[in-house]
Structure 1
C-alpha cells in the first residue's frame, strides 16, 4: 500500500462578519465592536477580514481611516463597481473605496443579465465595461482586487454565457479572486457543485471563491460543494450572521475543514489546529457583544452540541465517547454534557456528579433517591438540562452535602401604576425581602425595572457576612415558559448569572406564580455562587 505525500492545497478563508454580517436584523456594530471582532478573527487565523463599506456609515468610514493592525489577515473594503455612464473620477463610491486604507478592495457587480437590465438599467456590455475599468483602476493603485459576482448562480442558470463572461472579464482585468455568490440562497448543493465545476473548466479554481447564503439551510453544504468542485476561497461569517437567514457559518466550516479527513487530508487553511480550541469562546464572545443568547444547538460550539439526554446514550458515551460524538468536544473548545432529565438514567446522574466533583458509587442507595427526586421535580415542570447549577444544589441537598447560607422568611412585591412628579403615568415595582442569617434577621427593600428586578435587587441588597461574595453578580438572561394550561398555568423560569471571572451558571424555578418561580431561581443562583466561592 502506498501513501500519497503530495502537498496539500491551500484554502483561503474570507470573513465578512463586519460587512455582510452587519445586515442581520437587530445587529449594529459600533466601531469598538468592529475592532474587537477583527482582532478575534485575526488571532484565529482567517486570511481576509472585510471591514465594511467605506462611506456607508460613520463607523465604517472611521474604521478605514484608522485600520486595525493585523498579524495575519488582509484587510478588505467593500463597494460597488463604477456606475455606467460615469467616469472613474466622478464616482463618489469609487473614490471612497480608493481612499480607504485597506489591503484589498472587494467590488460587487451584477452577474445575472436580468438584474443588469432591470435593476441597473444598463446594457450587458456596459456592465462588463464598468467591471473591467473598476478593477483596472484599483490595480493601478496597487490594491488587490476581489470581485463578488452577485446572483451568480441564478444568473448562470438563466444565461450561463453572460455569467461566465463576468468572471472572465474580471480575471482578464486583473482580479485576484472572483467569488461566485448565491445571493438569494436558493441554489442546492448538487447545483453548486455542477456549476462551479463548469466554471472551473474555463477559469482557474485557485482564483475562484464561493459566497453562500443560508435560505435553504444549505450555505455550509454549498460552500463545501464548491470546494469539492474546485473553488479555493470560502466566504462566510462568524455564527452565520447575515441578511435574512444568514451567511455560510465559518464557525461550522472551519472545524469541518480541520477535523474531517475528506478536507483535512487535502487542504490547509490559515487556522492552525492549536487555535481551533478557541472557537467556542470566539463564537460566544460575538454573541456577548451583540447582547444575545448563544444558539445552544449550534454545531461544534453550542452548549448542546455534545449533550446527551437519553440514559442509554449516556452510558455508551461514558464507556467510549466516540459512540455518540463525531469529534472530541475539547478540539473546538466545547465540553461534553450528560443531561439530567426525566429521560436520564443513573449513567447521566453519575456523569454529572463526577463533573461537579461529587464522587458516588453506582451502587450507593442515595443515587436512586436522587434520580427519583429529579424525575419527580421534572414531572412538576422543572428542567435541569438547562439549569446545571440548580441540579448541583439539588444533588448536594439530597446527598446531605450543603448547608443553608440564608433563609428567606418572607418576601413581598408591589406593582403600582401612578403619575410621577412630571405627571407621566409610570409603573413602579417595589420588593421587600426578610432574610435570616446566623440567627439574625434583616429586611431589605428595593425598587426595580419590573417586579423580578426589584426582587433581585432587594434579595442581594444585604446578605450580611456573605455580601462581599455576591457584589460582582450580574443577571444576564431571564427566560419564562408557560405550560400546562391557560391563565392559571404553571410557569418555569430560567435565569443565568455571571460573575466578574466570566463564569456563568443557570438555575430554574417552577410555580403557578411567576414571581415565586423567579424567586426560586434567584435564590438558587445566589446560593450556588456562595457555594462555589467557599463562603
Structure 2
C-alpha cells in the first residue's frame, strides 16, 4: 500500500449564512506597508543563536524570496562576521529586498569624519543605513554621560554626514516610548532633529519591551501630528505585547513594521513577523508580501534550522500544532467544516490541517487518519473498532502517537494485516563498561537479525548505549537495504512516566528520523530504556522501508 502524506483530506470551509458584520478600522489602506526584517542583527543577539556569515547570506536570500522590503544585515562596525556578510551581499542580486547596515550615532569624543562606526557603515556600501540614537534622557545622562544638548548634536551631524555621502538614512529612536513617558518634549526634540538632518524614516522603538498597547496608540498618534516623514515601529516582547503593539502602531498610520522571523531576539525576543504579517494581511486586510504569504511557514522553519533552535510547534500560524486537532468534538466538527475550529485557511500561510492520533480522537478522527494512508473503511468496519481499542490500550501503557506518526502507521498496517516486516530480531545485547574512575565508559552493542532466510550478526561501538545500538542495527541491515544510509537520527527524547516508581518507572522514547526528503517520528515504551529505544529505532527503520508505489 502506498504511503501518503499525514495531511488530512481537504475540509469544507464555508461561512455562516448570516456573517456578523465587524466595523472596519479607520485606516489609510492605500498607504503601502514596509516589512523590515532584523533577524540577522537583533535576532542574532538572542541567547543560543549564532549565525556565521554564510548562514546570514542564506537567510537573507530566503527573506528576499519571502518578499520583505528591508533586511537589516548587521552592525559592520561591531564584528568581522558582519563585515564579511556585507562584502558577500554586494555580489548577490536580490529581487525584492534591500540590505541595510545598522549602527549608532558618532561618539561624543569623535568628529563625524573620524568616527570608526560611521566609517564602517559607509564601507558596507548599502544604499540605506539605519542609525540609532538616544531618545530617553536617562540614557543620555547615565549611559553616554553627556548633556541633552550634546546628544541632539550627535544625532543631527551623524545623519547629515551619512546623507552627504549619498545614503538614505532611517533613524531608530531607541527607547522612544520610555523616553516620551519620562520627558515627552525632549523625546520629540530628538526625532525632530533627525528629520531636520535628513532622516527619511523615524522608527519608534520600545527597546525594553515594557509599553502597553494603549500607550503605544496614544504616543504614536501624538508623533504623527509632529513628524512629517513616514514612521516605523520596533517592539520587543518583554511583556508579551510586541505583536499587539506593532499592530496597534500600524492602526494609527505607521507604515513600517520591524521584527524578526519567529520573534527571536534579545531577552524575550522581538516582534514576531510570522504573526504580524498574516495578521496584517488576513485580519487587517493590509497587503504586506503580495502573493508570497504562503512561503511563511517554510521561511520560519528555515530560520529555525539555520539558527539550530528547537522549533516551537505551538507558534501561531506557522507552528506544526497551529492547525492540529486532538479532541473528538473538534475533529468531528472540523472535518465537516474547517471554520468550526480554524480561524484561517492554513494553506494561506503554507501550513496544513492535522488530525492528531490519540485516544481523544474518536472514530471520525481515526477514520480520517486511516483514509490519509489510502485505506478506505466504513465507519462500522470491525477493524476500525479493533484499531481504536489497540490505540487506547497502547496510550494507557504510556505510548504517545501525536509526535510518532511513523509508529502509528505501522500499528495501523499491522492491525489491517497489510504489513510485512523488513527484518526479524533474533536478539540484541548492549554492554556499558567503565574501567577507570576518570575515564569515559565504553558502549558496545551486538545485534542478531534475520532478513528472509539470512541471519546477520554484527557488533558496533558508539557514544553511549543508544548510539551503539543504532550503529549495530544499521550495520546489520545496510547490506540488505542500502537506502538506510540516507537515514539520520534527528532527535531523541526520553520522558519518565509515573516517576513515583523511581528507577523502576516506565520511560517513553520518542525518536525523529529523516532522509533527504522526509521526516518521521517513532515511539517506544518500557521500564528498560534500551528496550524502549529499540522499539523506536526498529519502527524508524521499518517505516523507511515501507513499500512505495
Q: 2:68: which partner in 1?
A: 46
Contact 2:49 2:308 in 1 (8 A): no
Give, in whole Å, the separation in 1 of the partners of 2:475 and 2:191: 65
Residue of 473, 487, 495 corresponding to 1:459 = 473
The residue number in structure 1 matching 2:16 is none
Aligned equivalents of 1:241 and 1:289: distance in 2? Answer: 13
**Does the CA-based 8 Å contact 2:510-2:524 persist in structure 1?**
yes
1:114 and 2:129 matched:
no
CA drift at 1:5: 13
Residue equivalent to 1:430: 444
Name the SS of the counterpart of 2:180 in structure 1: helix
Output the CA distance in 2 between the equivalents of 1:464 and 1:149: 60
State whether structure 2 residue 549 is matched by structure 1 residue 531.
no
1:89 to 106, 109, 113: 113
Matches within 5 A, 1:91-170: 91-170=115-194
13, 17, 23: which one aligns with 2:45: 23
Q: Structure 2: any 5+ residue segments left out of the alignment?
A: 1-23
| CA shift digits 1:307-357 (9 cap, x unpaired) | 011001100010001110111111111111111112120111112112222
- Give the equivalent residue in structure 2 for 1:234: 257
Per-residue deviation at 1:492? 0.8
Say if 2:33 and 2:256, in contact at 8 Å, map to a contact too.
yes
Query: Secondary structure in 1 aligned to 2:476?
Result: coil
Does the CA contact (< 8 Å) of 1:417 and 1:427 recur in 2? yes
Whole-Å separation in 1 of the counterparts to 2:183 and 2:112: 29
SS in structure 1 opposite 2:485?
coil
Following the alignment from structure 1 to structure 2, what is the Cα–Cα distance between the partners of residues 292 and 64? 25
Task: Give 1:493's aligned residue.
Answer: 509
Matching of residue 272 in structure 1 with residue 290 in structure 2: yes
Aligned with 1:483 (options 497, 500, 518): 497
> How is 1:271-350 mapped onto 2 (pairs within 5 angstroms)?
271-273=289-291, 275-350=292-367
Asked if the contact 1:189/1:221 (under 8 Å) is kept, the reply is: yes
> Aligned pair 1:219/2:242, yes or no?
yes
| 8 Å CA contact 1:466, 1:530 repeated in 2 | no
Give the secondary-structure state (helix, strand or coil) at the position aligned to 1:480: strand
Classify 1:310/1:30 alpha carbon distance in 2 versus 1 (closer, same or farther; 3 Å).
Answer: same
Please say if residues 478 and 485 of structure 2, whose CA atoms lie closer than 8 Å, have aligned partners that are also in contact.
no
Q: 1:292 Cα deviation (Å)?
A: 2.5
Moved more, 525-534 or 223-232: 525-534
Q: Does 1:199 align with 2:216?
A: no
Residue 32 (structure 2) pairs with residue 10 (structure 1): yes
For structure 1, which runs of at least 5 residues remain unmatched after alignment?
none
Task: Tell me, yes or no, if the aligned pair for 2:27 and 2:251 is still in contact at 8 Å.
Answer: no
| 8 Å CA contact 1:192, 1:226 repeated in 2 | yes
Q: Which residue of 1 aligns with 2:462?
A: 448
Q: CA deviation at 1:220?
A: 0.7
Measure how far apart 1:110 and its partner are. 1.0
User: Which of 44, 54, 58 is the matching residue for 1:36?
Assistant: 58
* Counterpart Cα distance in 2 of 1:256 and 1:318: 25
Decide whether the 8 Å contact of 2:27 with 2:253 is kept in 1. Answer: no
- CA distance in 2 between counterparts of 1:424 and 1:228 reads 63
Deviation at 1:117, TM superposition (A): 0.5
Q: 1:308 to 1:404 in 2, by over 3 A?
A: same
> C-alpha distance in 2, partners of 1:148/1:140?
19
Q: Contact 1:11/1:232 (CA < 8 Å) preserved in 2?
A: yes
* Mapped partners of 2:139, 2:233: distance in 1: 20
Give the equivalent residue in structure 1 for 2:522. 507
The question of whether the paired residues in 1 share the 8 Å contact of 2:28 and 2:253 is answered with no
Structure-1-length-normalised TM-score: 0.94
Structure 1 residues 7 and 218, CA, compared in 2 at 3 Å: closer, same or farther? closer
Aligned residues: 521
Distance 1:429 1:128 in 2: 66
Query: Once the two structures are superposed, what CA deviation does each residue of 1:41-78 show, in whole Å capped at 9, x if it has no partner?
Result: 01111000000010322210111223242111111001
**Alpha-carbon deviations, 1:94-113, whole Å to 9, x = none?**
11111112121111111100
State the distance in 2 between where 1:12 and 1:313 align.
Answer: 38
2: CA distance, partners of 1:494 / 1:6: 50
Call closer, same or farther: CA 1:280–1:394 in 2, change over 3 Å: same
Is 1:401 matched with 2:415? no
For 1:518, the equivalent position in structure 2 comes to 533
Q: TM-score, normalised by structure 2?
A: 0.92
The 1:299–1:532 alpha-carbon spacing in structure 2 relative to 1, beyond 3 Å, is: farther
Secondary structure of 2:239's counterpart equals: coil
Distance in 2 of aligned mates of 1:454 and 1:58: 41
Q: 1:5 to 1:487 in 2, by over 3 A?
A: closer
Corresponding residue for residue 20 of structure 2: none
Shift of 1:528: 0.5
1:462 CA drift (Å): 2.5
Shift of 1:211: 0.5
CA offsets, 1:464-496, max 9 Å, x none? 664222110011111111120222211111111
